[in-house]
Chains A and B, each alone.
Chain A
Amino acid sequence: MNEMTKIETTLKDWETDQEVRWCPGCGDYAILKAVQRTLPQLGADPSNTCFISGIGCSSRFPYYMETYGFHTIHGRAPAVATGVKLANPDLDVWLVTGDGDGLSIGGNHMMHVLRRNVNMQIMLFNNEIYGLTKGQSSPTSREGTKSPSTPIGSYDHPVNPCAFALGSGARFIGRGFDVSKNLPDVLKAAHAHQGAAFIEIFQNCIVYNKDVFNDFAAPKGAGDRQLWLKHGKPMLFGDPKTGFDKGITLDRSTLTLKVVDATEENWEEAGVLVHDQTDRNLAHMLIEMPFGPFPMALGVLYDDPRPTFETAVIEERAKSAAGKEANLAKLLAKGQTWTVEANEGHPTD
Chain B
Amino acid sequence: MATQAAETPTSTPDAVVVRFAGDSGDGMQLTGGQFTLSTALAGNDLATFPDFPAEIRAPQGTLFGVSAFQINFGSREISTAGDAPDVLVAMNPAGLKVNIDALKPGGLIIIDTGEFTKRNLDKAKYDVSPLEDDSLAKWDVLAFDISALTIEAVKPFGLGNKDALRSKNMWTLGLALWMFDRDRAPIEEWLKNKFKSKPEIADANIAALNAGHAYGETAELAGPIKQMNIPAIESEPGLYRTITGAEAVSLGLVAGAQLAELPMFFGGYPITPASAILHHLARLKEFGVTTFQAEDEIAAICSAIGASYAGQLGVTSSSGPGIALKGEAMGLAIMTELPLVIVNSQRGGPSTGLPTKTEQSDLYQAIYGRNGDAPLPVVSCSSPGDAFETAIEAVRIATTYMTPVMLLTDGYIANAAEPWKVPDPDTFEPFPAKFLEEKNGVGEDGELLPYKRDAKGARPWIKPGTPDLMHRIGGIEKAIDTGHIDYAPDNHQAMTDARVNKVLGVEVPDQEIAAGEAGGKLAVVGWGSTYGPIRRAVDNARNKGLDVSHIHVRHIWPLPANLGELLKSYDKVLVPEMNTGQFKTVLRDQFLVDAQPLTKTSGQPFTITELDTAIEGALA
Contacts and interface: CB of A to CB of B under 8 A. Distances in A.
Contact of A320 (B263, B285, B296, B298): B285
A202 interface: no
Contact of A79 (B286, B303, B464): B303
A307 B199 CA distance: 40
A72 B333 CA distance: 10
B474 interface: yes
Contacts of B180: none
B241 A71 contact: no
A66 B299 contact: no
Given A66-B470, A325-B286, A87 B310 contact: yes
B495 to A, nearest CB: 16
A339 B232 CA distance: 12
B238 A83 contact: no
A48 interface: yes
A227 interface: no
Main secondary structure of the interface of A (DSSP, over half): mixed
Contacts of A72: 302, 305, 332, 474-475
Contacts of B425: 328-329, 332
B171 to A, nearest CB: 22
Nearest to A74: B328
Nearest to B419: A338
A332 B43 contact: no
B251 A336 contact: no
Contacts of B305: 72, 80, 83
A332 B466 contact: no
Interface residues of B, number: 74
Nearest to A83: B306
Interface string A72-105: 1110101111111111101100000000000000
A326 to B, nearest CB: 5
A340 B292 contact: no
A338 B43 contact: yes
A343 to B, nearest CB: 7
A88 B464 contact: yes
A91 B258 CA distance: 24
A313 interface: yes
Contacts of A342: 237
A339 B238 contact: yes
Contacts of A71: 472-476
Contacts of B294: 79, 82, 112
Interface in B401-453: 422-426
B285 A80 contact: no
Contacts of B241: 333-338
A67 to B, nearest CB: 5
Contacts of B240: 337-340
B463 interface: yes
Given A109-B295, A337-B241, A87 B286 contact: no
B294 to A, nearest CB: 7
Contacts of A76: 298-299, 302, 329
A162 interface: no
A308 B124 CA distance: 54
A80 B298 CA distance: 10
Main secondary structure of the interface of B (DSSP, over half): mixed
A334 B329 CA distance: 35
A128 B333 CA distance: 30
B309 A91 contact: no
A207 to B, nearest CB: 21
Contact of B475 (A47, A48, A73, A331): A73
B468 A47 contact: yes
A215 B369 CA distance: 49
A321 interface: yes
Interface string A6-37: 00000000001010000000000000000000
Interface in B475-517: 475-476, 484-485
Interface string B348-364: 00000000000000000
Nearest to B468: A47
Interface size class of A (residues with CB under 8 A): 35 or more
B283 A320 contact: yes
Contact of B471 (A68, A108, A343): A68
Contact of B287 (A83, A109, A331): A331
Interface string A199-242: 00000000000000000000000000000000000000000000
A331 B263 CA distance: 17
Interface in B23-78: 37, 40-41, 43
Contacts of A55: 475
A341 B298 CA distance: 49
Given A73-B332, A108-B296, A328-B255, A349 B236 contact: yes
A56 interface: no
B282 to A, nearest CB: 8
A329 B304 CA distance: 26
B290 interface: yes
A62 interface: yes
Contact of A62 (B242, B255, B463, B474): B474
Given A46-B470, A324-B286, A337-B241, A343 B234 contact: yes
B558 to A, nearest CB: 26
B598 to A, nearest CB: 31
Contact of A90 (B236, B307, B465, B471): B465
A38 to B, nearest CB: 18
B288 interface: yes
A338 B40 contact: yes
Interface in B133-170: none
A112 B295 contact: yes
B566 to A, nearest CB: 23
Nearest to B420: A332
Chain B CB within 10 Å, residue with most, of A72, A90, A325, A343: A72
A249 to B, nearest CB: 40
A62 to B, nearest CB: 5
Contacts of B475: 55, 71-73
A47 B467 contact: yes
B286 A321 contact: yes
A337 B43 CA distance: 10
A309 to B, nearest CB: 10
B131 interface: no
B284 interface: yes
A47 B466 contact: yes
A50 interface: yes
Given A70-B309, A70-B473, A70-B474, A326 B286 contact: yes
Nearest to B189: A336
B236 A340 contact: yes
Contacts of B219: none
B186 interface: yes
A252 interface: no
Given A87-B311, A348-B237, 17 more contacts: A46-B470, A55-B475, A62-B474, A69-B474, A73-B331, A79-B300, A82-B294, A83-B267, A84-B310, A87-B310, A326-B288, A331-B251, A332-B255, A336-B40, A336-B186, A338-B40, A338-B240
20 contacts: A47-B467, A55-B475, A69-B473, A71-B476, A76-B302, A79-B302, A80-B305, A82-B299, A83-B267, A83-B306, A86-B292, A86-B303, A87-B290, A87-B310, A87-B311, A320-B283, A336-B37, A338-B40, A338-B239, A338-B241
Interface of A: 16, 18, 46-48, 50, 52, 55, 62-63, 65-74, 76, 78-88, 90-91, 108-109, 111-112, 313, 316-318, 320-321, 324-326, 328-329, 331-343, 346, 348-349
- Closest 3 interchain pairs by CB? A83-B306, A71-B474, A83-B303
